[in-house]
Amino acid sequence: MKESAIKYLEIVVLQQQSKEELIKRILELQERDKELVDKYSKLYHSKRESEKEYEERIQEYKNRMEEVFKLHAQGQVITEEYKRLVDLKLGNTYNINSTWIDKIVFVLKAAGRPLRSSEIIEVLKKNDVTFRTLMDPQKGLSAHLTKALKYGRIIGTKQKGQNGYVFSLPE
């Protein structure tokens, strides 16, 4: 009821106003509406800009994270390479560039027990590409075992009832 009374009064008040007052009132309302639209559009544009900045910032962080992950992966590769080089220098890994006698000594050290020549051949076949290319691995290894025995780098022990020697490191 109040609402209909207010609407009626508004209509009556508007009818009683002069044409100039009505035009003035309309211009005031248009100005007010224009200000509200301007405020809304500014707010809308600032929100859009902040969303764009937010998306750009997220993309920048993603790019930074990718760079950090790449650097971390490169660091791990470099660390593994340094570890491998240190192990090679300390004699803890099989070095394909070593002499055959050094390779035989390394295999015996790594095994931690005396080995037969056939066991040494198996290890060398798994680790050394050039050893795999030999026509007769037993003959190829035999010459190097003889040299290693001659230089005292390894010891060959004959076991009763078995062919060949068991090779070990000198104590």
Would you call 104 exposed, middle or buried from its count of C-beta atoms within 10 A (0-12, 13-18, 19+)?
A: buried
Domain parsing of the chain, residue ranges: 2-87, 100-168
pLDDT digits (tens, 9 = 90+) for 116-154: 988 888 888 887 878 888 888 888 889 899 999 999 999
Over residues 92-118, the mean pLDDT reads: 83
Q: Name the percent of the chain lying above pLDDT 70.
A: 88
Q: In the chain, which residue ranges form alpha helices assigned H by DSSP?
A: 2-16, 19-90, 100-111, 117-127, 129-132, 137-151
Domain 100-168 is found in CATH 3.40.1400: no
Paired tokens of 80: 């593994």
- Residues 168 and 157: their CA atoms lie apart, in Å, by 8
- Residues 80 and 152: their CA atoms lie apart, in Å, by 34
Neighbours of 167 (CB within 10 A): 23
pTM of the predicted structure, to 2 decimals: 0.47
pLDDT digits (tens, 9 = 90+) for 12-30: 766 777 778 778 888 888 8
Strands 155-158 vs 165-168: parallel, antiparallel or unpaired: antiparallel
List the 165-168 sheet strands across, edge first: 115-116, 165-168, 155-158
Nearest CA to 169 out of 100, 124, 112 is that of 112
